[in-house]
Copies of this chain bind each other. A is one copy, B any other.
Amino acid sequence: MDEPRWLDEHEMAAWQGFVAASNLINRRLEQQLKEGSGLSHTQYEILVQLSAAAGGSLRMTDLADRLVTSKSGLTYQVTQLEKAGLVIRRSCPSDVRGVFAELTQDGWLVLRAAAPGHVATVREVLIDVLSREQLAVLAEGLGEVSARLRAAERRSPTP
C-alpha cells in the first residue's frame, strides 16, 4: 500500500457510474414499492426468495445468505412480515434450533400483486435503458464479481 495504483479516468468513470446507479436505482425502487404495495425492497426480496424456494419456505440462515443482510436484520424483517400475515415461522423437524420462514397464502397474493409494478420499474430504470449486448456484459461481469465476493466471505466469515 506504499504506492497505491490510483484509478485512471476510465476506471473512475466505471466506479462512479456503478455507485451512482446503485444508489439511485435503490432509491427509486424503494419509493415505487412503498407506494405501490407498502413493502420495502428488503421485504419484497424476502418474499421473492421464499416464492422461488421449494415449498415456499427457507431456513433463516439460507435466507440471510441469499439476501445480503445480517442475521439480526432478517429476524427483524421476518417478524414484521409475520405481523403483516405474509409469512409464518415453522420449526424445523430435523434440527430443533432451525426455523423456517414460509410464505402464507396472503404472502403469495401480495407478491403476485406487487410483482408487475416492480418489474416495470426494473425495466424502466435499468433493463430497457441498456442494449442486449450491454446487458450480457453486465450479467457476465457482475456475476463474476458477486461470485468472488461470496467466495471471499466464505473464506473469512463475519460472525
Q: Which residues of A contact B (CB under 8 A)?
A: 1, 4-7, 10-11, 13-15, 17-18, 20-28, 31, 67-68, 115-117, 119-120, 122-123, 125-127, 129-130, 132-146, 148-150, 152-153, 158
Contact between chains at A14 and B127 (CB < 8 Å): yes
Determine which of B10, B15, B119, B129 lies in contact with A148 in the assembled complex, contact meaning CB atoms within 8 Å.
B129
Contact between chains at A17 and B143 (CB < 8 Å): yes
Stoichiometry, copies per complex: 2
Determine which of B20, B122, B144 lies in contact with A7 in the assembled complex, contact meaning CB atoms within 8 Å.
B122
Contact between chains at A149 and B14 (CB < 8 Å): no
Contact flag A139-B7 (CB < 8 Å), given A31-B158, A116-B1, A145-B129? no
Contact between chains at A142 and B68 (CB < 8 Å): no
Give me 28 A-to-B residue pairs in the complex whose CB atoms sit less than 8 angstroms apart, sorted by A's number. Answer: A1-B116, A4-B115, A4-B116, A5-B123, A7-B123, A7-B127, A11-B127, A11-B135, A13-B139, A14-B130, A17-B146, A18-B22, A20-B142, A21-B145, A21-B146, A22-B22, A23-B68, A24-B145, A24-B150, A25-B149, A27-B68, A28-B152, A129-B145, A129-B148, A133-B137, A134-B137, A138-B138, A138-B141
